[in-house]
Amino acid sequence: MRGIDVNALLEGLTDRQAEAVTTTGAPLCILAGAGSGKTRVLTRRIAYRVATGSADPRHVLALTFTRKAATELGRRLEALGVRTHVTAGTFHALAYAQLRRWWADNDRRPPVLLERKVGLLARLHASSGASVSGRANVQPVDLAAEIEWAKARMVGPDDYEAAAARHRRSAPLSPAALASLYRRYEVEKQRRGLVDFDDLLIGLARAMGTDAEFAASQRWRFRHLFVDEFQDVNPVQATLLAGWRGEGNDLCVVGDCNQAIYSWNGADPAQLRDFKRREPGATVVVLDDNFRSTPQILAVAGSLIPPGPGRSGRLRPRRPDGPLPYIRTFERDVDEARSIARLVRDRHAPGTPWSQIAVLTRTNAQLVAFEEAFRAGGIPVRVRGGGAFLERPEVKAALGELGRPDGALAPGLADMAAAVRQGSPELGTAAEERRAVLEELVRLGHDYLALEAEASVAGFTAWLAAGLRSEAPHAVTDAVDLATFHAAKGLEWPVVFIAGLERGLVPISHATTDEARDEERRLLYVAVTRAERELHCSWARQRTFGARSLRRQASPWLEEIQVARAALAAGEAHPGSTAWRSRLADERARLHGLRGGRAAVGGRTGVKIGSAADPGLLDALKSWRAEAARAGGVPAYVVFHDTTLAAVAEARPRTQTALLDLPGLGPVKAERYGDALLAVIAAHKGDGRS
């Protein structure tokens, strides 16, 4: 194509990136790790194909999953000079445009698009005699989510019960009741002449499967297919893609199995994982150079997931070294929020934007404490994803149910707290997230009651608005981003704080299957790989849920981060090298060996840890531990296991760094108890060893 400099398209690319852009292999699968420049490679491949004449831009179809991603795709293609003729957009938008053409060609009156299922489902559910009030266990949004899951897998009402049993779905209604509601929903839509967003994909796939002439015209028009984020494809999208493709091989998919985090919504990462097996003649190019994060951050990320394809099985850092990841423990969640607010302010250098910093949590509910702390500290914030707390539909509905504006707050708040406590924990992700949000509202209500003895509903609402004022979408141009792990996908920041790394949140409590826990692990990996220069991880021993304050435990995966940090602190190998993997394995073996009372020593196993411990120092350490346990109100073993104290009494460390070299003494406990341990060691004379 005239006007495109082919050589310029290859400038600045690595050998692997250039291979992905120029290869003639088809179909083509590009496995692009986090920060490897996948969008750059995808758009340059499209431009390269057009510039070299191997693809006609009028017959190119580039697909992605969100409007934001589609906008970015279009912007980059326009900058490369090929956007005018290329068709690019989301699956849903393109399906709707093509269906409208098909309806017109068949003289069919186009149905009206139902943009939200919730209202219709609420009325249908209410007509069955079940309550859909904010205090009921079953919420219309949960019903909509379950139907969307079924439609993503092309499961109709008649097949829902069997599919739900096969996939072990934890639905908001019994399978039979959900199937009945689903059936009535479909009948009502048809009666009113409506289609929902899911129907667009299913309808186009069916049209192409039953109308051979229409299918042939689509395949003639779209001969060169490109799909971004292929790990997020669900079965109905895969069916539609197969319809567009037909017998052709001109297909290029880009994705990363380690960032597959939407299976709860029907996405099937096996579409990417098994691509080579399904397509025996496929070409696979692996992009494993990371241009985003420091080696230290990538080392932590790599410790969370199994090795993948590529030269080393890990992302290879292309940035210079940075600081070690930080790990902090706080007594209460409010302490965590306030401390991070202070740390954020400390890192906001003059002339640098606030938007270079982000705070990420597993759930939207956890972000409320940070909204409070940052507003109180005068730090501008922007909530990404689920929206600001006061803008969430469930919060608006709950505020409306507290009673008359001039009425007392306490009775309505008590009713809400009781309803939250009675909610079923088996309703799935959406219901659990909503309950957590309502628990935060109850907590805020109790905070207000402590300030105002005669608190009214109107006063509480005004207090919330003042403390958690919602900004218009573009009112804040420079602000610290607050986001969930899910909402952070596709974004990046120089400094990232990952907060609330606690058991029950990371992984989330309802992730009970191996598949669900694997996805939770990938979700944490996505959060970690958002950081460019600094990574801060934290958790709190006590977290408030509504009116309840519960003791917490650190996420089991924080141990993996501690192990990686200890290996980095040892400074014996560079992340990504064979020596680094060996060092990481040694650190993990030492920690796991401690739990069994034995560890590898000098390449041998079976040597008991602490066998040469100083008995007097060990007794002194146990006495100190008993006092620490009483002060913390926890059993002694929670402070330190006997074998840990034996290892300390044997090694007699004199510095924090030396403490971190001991098995079982990760940065979290070293930060909390390190000074006290060193003081006990210094005070004990022992046998005079140094």
pLDDT in tens, 414-425: 777 777 665 544
| Average pLDDT value over all residues in the chain | 82
pTM of the model: 0.74
Q: What is the pLDDT of residue 24?
A: 94
Q: Which residue is it, tokens 């993996």? A: 560
Domain edges within the chain: 6-97+200-287, 112-192, 389-470, 615-683
E strand segments, 222-293: 224-227, 251-255, 283-287, 289-290
- 212-216, 287-291, 449-453: least confidently modelled range: 449-453
* Domain boundaries 112-192, corresponding CATH code: 1.10.10
- Burial (Cβ within 10 Å: 0-12, 13-18, ≥19) of residue 271: buried
Architecture label for domain 615-683: Orthogonal Bundle (1.10)
61-83 pLDDT, tens per residue? 999 888 778 878 888 888 888 87
Residue 240 has pLDDT above 90, yes or no: yes
Question: What are the residues facing 89 on neighbouring strands?
Answer: 63
Q: Which residue is it, tokens 């019960």? A: 161
Looking at residues 318-347, what average pLDDT do you find?
Answer: 93
Give percent of the chain with pLDDT exceeding 70: 80
Q: What is the pLDDT of residue 17?
A: 95
Position 639 confidence tier, pLDDT thresholds 50, 70, 90: confident
Looking at residues 601-620, what average pLDDT do you find?
Answer: 59
Q: Please state whether 546 falls in left (phi above 0), alpha (psi between -120 and 50) or beta.
A: left
Closest CA relative to residue 62, chosen from 54, 71, 53: 71
E strand segments, 23-115: 28-32, 60-64, 87-90, 112-114
Q: In what order do the strands lie in the sheet with 87-90?
A: 87-90, 60-64, 224-227, 251-255, 28-32, 283-287
6-97+200-287 is classed CATH 3.40.50.300: yes
- Burial (Cβ within 10 Å: 0-12, 13-18, ≥19) of residue 278: exposed
One fold for 112-192 and 615-683: no
- 72-81, 104-113, 390-399, 474-483: least confidently modelled range: 390-399
CA distance 568 to 296: 7
